[in-house]
Amino acid sequence: MELSTFAEILQFAIKREEEAARGYAGLRKMARDEGVKKLLLDLEEEEKNHKKILQGLTQGKMETSAAEDVQDLKISDYLVEEPLSPEVNFQELLIFAAKKEKKAAELYHDLAKISEIKEQKKLFEFLSKQEKTHKLRLELEYEKHILWED
C-alpha cells in the first residue's frame, strides 16, 4: 500500500489497529489466567476504540489534539520480552503490549521524518503520539501493579 494521501495513511493505521485487536483476541482465547484474560479484553477493546477514533479523524480534529508531547516513562524499554504462551502472566503481557506500542510509535515517527508533505508529516506525528499514549498507559499499569509489588 502506498502511503501518499491522508486517506491511505488513515487506512494503513486502521488496519494496524484491527490487527492489534485480533491479536489480543487470539491471545485472550489462549490465556488461562482470568486477570490476564481481562487485561487482554481491555486491550482488544482499546484497539477497537482507536480504530473508531481514526475512522472519525479529520485533518481539523488532528490539528487540535497535537498540542503537547507524551511523557515516556521508558519502563518497558529495558525489560526483557518473553515469548507469549497460554501461561502468560500479567507482567509479561504488560511488557509485550508496551513494547508493541513502542514499535508502532517508532514506525510512525520514522514515517513522519521521511515525509515530505506537511499534512502527511502531521498525520504520522499524530499517530506516533497516539501510540506513545497507549505505551504510557501500559507502563503506568506496570508501575502500579508490578513495580510496587516487588
Q: Is 33 helix (H, G, I), strand (E, B) or coil?
A: coil
Q: Is the pLDDT of residue 4 over 80?
A: no
**pTM: predicted TM-score of the whole model, two decimal places:** 0.83
**29: in domain:** yes
pLDDT in tens, 52-86: 988 888 766 665 555 568 899 999 999 988 888 88
**114: in domain:** yes
What CATH code is carried by the domain that includes residue 122? Answer: 1.20.1260
Q: How high is the pLDDT of residue 61?
A: 67
pLDDT in tens, 25-48: 998 898 888 988 998 899 899 899
**1: in domain:** no
Q: How high is the pLDDT of residue 63?
A: 59
Task: Supply the range of the domain harboring residue 126.
Answer: 6-68+75-147
**12: in domain:** yes
**In the structure grid, which three cell numbers stand for residue 64, read together?**
487540535
**80: in domain:** yes
**108: in domain:** yes
**Total number of domains in the chain:** 1
Percent of the chain with pLDDT over 90: 37
Q: Which of 91, 108, 92, 111 is nearest to 50 (CA)?
A: 108
